[in-house]
Amino acid sequence: MPRYSQLGYAALNVTDVARARKFYEASVGLMPNGEGAAGEAFFRCGPEHHNIVLYPASSPGLKRIGIEMEDDAALDELQRHLAAQQVQIFEVPPAERQALHERRALRIAEPSSGAVLEFYSGMERAARPFAASCAKIRRIGHVVLRVPNLAATTDFYTRVLGFRVSDEIDGQAVFMRPHPSPYHHGIALFQGAAAKLHHVNFMVSELDDIGRAMDRFARNGVRIVYGPGRHRPSDSFYLYFLEPDGLTLEYSFEMEEFPAANARAPRNLVPNRTSTDFVESAWEAALPPKVGDIERLASP
């Protein structure tokens, strides 16, 4: 099966790029890294050119998920594998690849939810190291989707793409990693009535990053919708909050990591509150996160 490097970036649709730019820099702590010809704004939290892209749109939500391959050979293998599975593949045009600072890239539409997945190799690295500001962000951690058919969507990610399941909550959620990325999940799926973006996660360096965020958000009117608490499946501390369009973002600290070989078997947890949170660490009553639309793939 193809070998992946990491969840590389999330492209989000926002209704006011200027407003969103201020929030993602000053409140979230991402580092701006330029603009594109279509008015999109690039941000990063690591050495890559970007880990978040904000696109102007009439409706907020997910534009696409970018997944980095280990190298060009891995991208070639994925392309052959997808073709053998009769998955329609869209080559990203050279001009768009140049705008995204990628050497090679292809896209598909995940057939159950319609989410656009981009697989790429050779993203340009930034000239300067990432400079932490209000939060010591380590990396973009994961993207979570609500999907109308959890079983079918999970089958596509595992059988067709070769993702590994880390844990499940029976009939409600599946947590997956793009092998051999070690982190508990880079993509997670929740059962829902319609396909929606659930949240985008950023992994921080210290538990204090979460504490400082609570104070910062209180002072600046940022709404916290869930947490703080600690998730049972990934063993991570968390805090969920809303950005200006109402999309849900998450800070998390710590996460179980898997070895490339001889990893533990996935658990199938009973669907109740204690399957998502340690009871003793669910420090605040939960409110359901808001959700965003998922943009469909347009044929070139």
**CA-CA distance, 176 to 183, in Å (whole number)?**
9
Tens digit of each residue's pLDDT (9 = 90 or more) over 145-162: 999 999 999 999 999 999
Q: What angle do CA 130, 132, 137 make, to 5 degrees?
A: 90
Going by their DSSP bridges, the two strands 116-121 and 248-253 should be labelled as: unpaired
Q: What was the pLDDT predicted at 281? A: 45
For residue 47, give the DSSP letter: S
Q: What was the pLDDT predicted at 165? A: 98
Within 8 A by CB and 6+ apart from 52, the residues are 9, 10, 11, 12, 24, 30, 42, 43, 44, 45, 140, 200
Q: What was the pLDDT predicted at 286? A: 53
**CA-CA distance, 242 to 240, in Å (whole number)?**
7
- Please indicate whether the domains covering 4-121 and 137-294 agree at the CATH topology level: yes
Q: What was the pLDDT predicted at 24? A: 98
Pick the CATH number of 4-121 from 2.60.120.260, 3.10.180.10, 3.60.15.10, 1.10.3210.10: 3.10.180.10
Q: Of 29, 43, 53, which is closest to residue 217 (Cα–Cα)? A: 29
**CA-CA distance, 105 to 300, in Å (whole number)?**
14
**CA-CA distance, 46 to 130, in Å (whole number)?**
5
Query: For domain 137-294, which architecture applies?
Result: Roll (3.10)
Residue 99 zone, left/alpha/beta (φ > 0; ψ -120 to 50; rest): alpha
Query: Any bridge partners for residue 74, and if so which?
Result: none
Tens digit of each residue's pLDDT (9 = 90 or more) over 119-139: 999 999 998 889 999 999 999
Q: What was the pLDDT predicted at 289? A: 67
Which parts of the chain register pLDDT below 70?
273-289, 299-300
pTM (predicted TM-score)? 0.95
Q: What was the pLDDT predicted at 277? A: 67
Sign of CA dihedral 206, 175, 230, 22: positive
Question: Residue ranges of the domains in the chain?
Answer: 4-121, 137-294
For 127, other C-beta atoms within 10 Å of its C-beta total: 8
